[in-house]
Amino acid sequence: MLRQKYRMTDICPPSITRSSCSSLWRALSNGWSKFLQNIAWSVGNGTSIRLFDDVWIPSLGPLYAYTREPHFASLNISITDLVTEEGKWNNTAPETLFTDQAVKHFHNIKCPNPLDGDDRCIWRWTPKQCFDLKNAYTKLAESFWALKQSIWPIIWHLTVPQRIQLFLWMAQQQKLMTNVERCRRNLSNSPSCPICCNHAESILHTLRDCDFPKQVWSKILPEPLVHPFFSMNINQWLPCNLSSNFLHHSLVIPWKLIFASFVWKLWKCRNNYVFNNDGASEAEIIHRSIAWAKCYHSNIPPLTGKPVQLLSTNPRWIAPKPGWFCINVDGSISASSQLGKIGGLVRNTEGDWIVGFTKTTGISNILHTELWALYEGLKLSWDFGFERLVVYSDCRQAVELLNDHMAGSSSLSLVRAIDRIRRRSWITEITWTSREVNRPADRLAKLADPLDFSLRIFNEPPLEVTLLVDNDKSTPLERNPHPSQIKSSRPTGNPKNSLTLILKKDS
C-alpha cells in the first residue's frame, strides 16, 4: 500500500526519501540505508542484478571487492552476461574476473533462468533467507553488545529455575527495585532500609548486610568463606559465589547452588515482609533454601551415558513400489574448505543401480547444499524419463520447504526451481529418511572432486558404494506403500517421518 502511495516502482532503490511524506514513511526513509545493508538478491531471471554492485552472493556482499583487476569493477554488466546459450554459467568468465575465493562462492548460486521469474529481494543472513525479527535485531545491535561479560555464562549455566537466573541477572545489573534504585528513579524520597532504618537499602544491604540476612548467612557459611564473603563489593560478590564449586561439608551440594537458593529466598522474604507484613524466621529460610538447593542439585542431568534412542526400529532402505523409481540424495560440507559436495543414486524396485551423480557446489551452508542435491537429483531423473519418482533426503528442513504449498514463491531460488521441475508432467514424492538409510548417497557425495564444479554421472556404482548398494538389495525389500497408507504403516510414531506430497500432472 505504501509502495503504491509513494509510487515506488523499483524493488530496492538506493533511497526512498520524499520531500513531503507521512511520519511513517519518514521513519522508513531514515532506516532505509541500514535496511539495504542486510538485503540481497535471490536470483530468478537475473535481469535486475548488476554483476559487481549488487549483493547476490549473500555471504560475500558486492563482488567489486573481489575482482582480479580493479578496473573490472567499472564494467556495467548484468549477471545474465555470464550465462551461456545452454543456460549454464560461462566456464571461464568467473575465473577471469574474480579471485579464487569468490569463484568458490559463485558456483553455489543457481544460474539465472528466464523461466525462474523475477529476481527477488531476500534477507541476507538466515539460511532460509527469510526476514526474521530476532536476526534483524542481532544485526542492528551486536556491534554494541558487551558479549564478553564473564557473568553471562555463569548465571545462565546454573541449574536453577529460570526465574532465579533472571533475578540474579537483575541483581548483577543493579536493577533490583531497592529503595536506592527507587530514589534514583525519583519514585521515592528516602533510600533507607525499611527494616533496620540504619543504612541505605542497596542490593548488597538487602541480600547480605542487613541484620536478618547477616544472621542467616553466618549460620550457613562454611568457615573458609566467611571473611571474603562479607568484604566483597557487589561486582565481586555475585560472580565469586555463583561460580564456586566448593562443596558444602555437610550438605554435599556445590556452594553456588546453595548461594543462589539463599539469595532468592532472602529477597522474597524481604518483599513479603515489607509489602505484606508477613515475615519468616531464620530457621524457616534456612530449611526452605537448603531443601530447594538439594532439589536443584538432584536435577542436574548426568554428563555421561548413552544418548536417548529415538527410533526403536532398525531403519533400512525401502524399495519403491512397482512402476516407481527412487532416488536417495545427500549433501555435506567439507570442514576444511567449506565447499558443498552432493551425491545421489537412482534405483528401481529391485534395488538395481540405474544411475548416480556427484558434484561440488561451491562454498555453502548445509541447507543450501541439501537443496542442491535435491535439485540435481530431480533434474537427472527427469532427463532419464521416469514417470513416478520417490525422492529421499535426510534433511528435514529441505523436505518441509519443498512440500510447503508456497514452495513456488520461496525466497530460495533453488526451492522455486525444484518446485518448477516437480510441476512438469510426472509424479514426484519428496520424503525424509534417516541418515543411516541414506549412507550410499552420503558416500557418493564425499567422492565429489573439490576442484571440479561440473556434474559427474555414474552409470555403474563406484567401488566405494557397491557394498552398500548390494547390502540394501540383499535385505528383504519392503515395497514403498501408497502415500495414503504411509502414516498408519510406519511404527515410529513421528508424523514428520511421513512428510510427503504428490504433485499431479498439470500439463
Helices 211-220, 255-276: axis angle to 10 degrees equals 150
Shortest distance (Å) from residue 271 CB to Zn ion: 14
Q: Establish if 415 lies at the interface with Zn ion (CB under 5 A).
A: no
Minimum CB distance to Zn ion, residue 195 (Å):
5
Q: Is 428 within 8 Å of 391 (Cβ atoms)?
A: yes
φ, ψ (nearest 5 deg) of residue 342: -125, 160
> Which of the stretches 185-193, 262-270, 376-384, 471-479 binds Zn ion when contact is defined by CB under 5 A?
185-193
Residue 362's alpha-carbon distances to 29, 61, 369, 452, in angstroms, are: 36, 16, 9, 10
441: left (phi over 0), alpha (psi -120 to 50) or beta: alpha
- Distance, in Å, from the CA atom of 39 to the CA atom of 54, rounded to the nearest integer, reads 10
Residue with Cβ nearer Zn ion (196 or 251): 196
- Tell me the closest approach of the beta carbon of residue 194 to Zn ion, in angstroms: 8
Q: What is the rounded distance in angstroms from the CA atom of residue 313 to the CA atom of residue 320? A: 19
Q: Name the residue among 409, 422, 413, 329 with its Cα closest to residue 376.
A: 329
Cell of 288: 526452605
Q: Is the Cβ–Cβ distance between 321 and 482 less than 8 Å?
A: yes
User: Of 117 and 191, which CB lies nearer to Zn ion in the complex structure?
Assistant: 191
Work out the angle at residue 239's Cα, subtended by the Cα atoms of residues 237 and 245, and round it to the nearest 5 degrees.
105
Could you tell me the end-to-end alpha-carbon distance of the chain, in angstroms, rounded to an integer?
35
Among the listed ranges 117-125, 189-197, 367-375, 412-420, the one in contact with Zn ion (CB under 5 A) is 189-197
Tell whether residue 427 is a contact of Zn ion (CB under 5 A).
no
- Least CB distance to Zn ion at residue 210 (A): 3
Pairing of strands 353-363, 339-347: antiparallel
**Whole-number Å distance between alpha carbons of 219 and 287:** 12
Q: Nearest distance from residue 275's CB to Zn ion, in Å? A: 16
Q: Are 108 and 366 in contact (CB under 8 A)?
A: no
Q: How far is the CB of 162 from Zn ion (least distance, A)?
A: 29
Pick the stretch among 51-59, 190-198, 238-246, 419-427 that binds Zn ion (CB under 5 A).
190-198
Instruction: Report yes or no: 211 and 195 within 8 Å, Cβ to Cβ.
Output: yes
Only one of the segments 155-163, 186-194, 278-286, 402-410 lies at the binding site for Zn ion (rule: CB under 5 A); that segment is: 186-194
CB of 289 to Zn ion, least distance (A): 19
* Closer by beta carbon to Zn ion, 196 or else 286: 196
The secondary structure element, H or E, covering residue 311 is none
**Cα(240)–Cα(227) distance, integer angstroms:** 13
Contacts of 200 (CB under 8 A, 6+ apart): 179, 180, 191, 192, 193
Which of residues 41 and 237 has its CB atom nearest to Zn ion in the complex?
A: 237
Sign of CA dihedral 385, 388, 393, 396: positive
Nearer to Zn ion, 193 or 220 (CB): 193
Is 200 strand, coil or helix?
Answer: strand
Closest CB to Zn ion among residues 210, 363:
210
Taking the complex as a whole, the smallest distance from the CB of residue 232 to Zn ion amounts, in Å, to: 18
Query: Among the residues of 407-462, which ranges form H helices?
Result: 413-422, 439-446
Task: Decide: is 193 part of the binding site for Zn ion (CB under 5 A).
Answer: yes
User: Which residue, 193 or 326, has its beta carbon nearer to Zn ion?
Assistant: 193
Identify the H or E element spanning 391.
strand 388-393
With 0-12 / 13-18 / 19 or more C-beta atoms within 10 angstroms meaning exposed / middle / buried, residue 70 is exposed
Which residue's CB is nearer to Zn ion, number 28 or number 196? 196
* Largest CA-CA distance found in the chain, in angstroms, rounded: 89
The binding track of 310-349 with respect to Zn ion, each residue x by CB under 5 A or -, is: ----------------------------------------
CB atoms within 10 A of CB 29: 15
By CB under 5 A, how many residues form the interface with Zn ion?
Answer: 4
Residues 195-234 vs Zn ion: string with x where CB under 5 A?
xx-------------x------------------------
Nearest approach in angstroms of CB 213 to Zn ion is: 9
For the CB of residue 227, give the shortest distance to Zn ion in the complex, in Å. 21
Q: Which is nearer to Zn ion, 43 or 285 (CB)?
A: 285
In the complex, least distance from residue 273 CB atom to Zn ion, rounded to whole angstroms: 11
- Phi/psi for 194 (5° steps) reads -70, -10
Based on CB atoms, which residue is closest to Zn ion, 30 or 271? 271
Q: How far is the CB of 197 from Zn ion (least distance, A)?
A: 7
Nearer to Zn ion, 41 or 212 (CB): 212
**Of 210 and 345, which has the nearer Cβ to Zn ion?**
210
Q: Identify which range of 108-116, 192-200, 220-228, 397-405 contacts Zn ion by CB under 5 A.
A: 192-200
Residues within the interface to Zn ion (CB under 5 A): 193, 195-196, 210
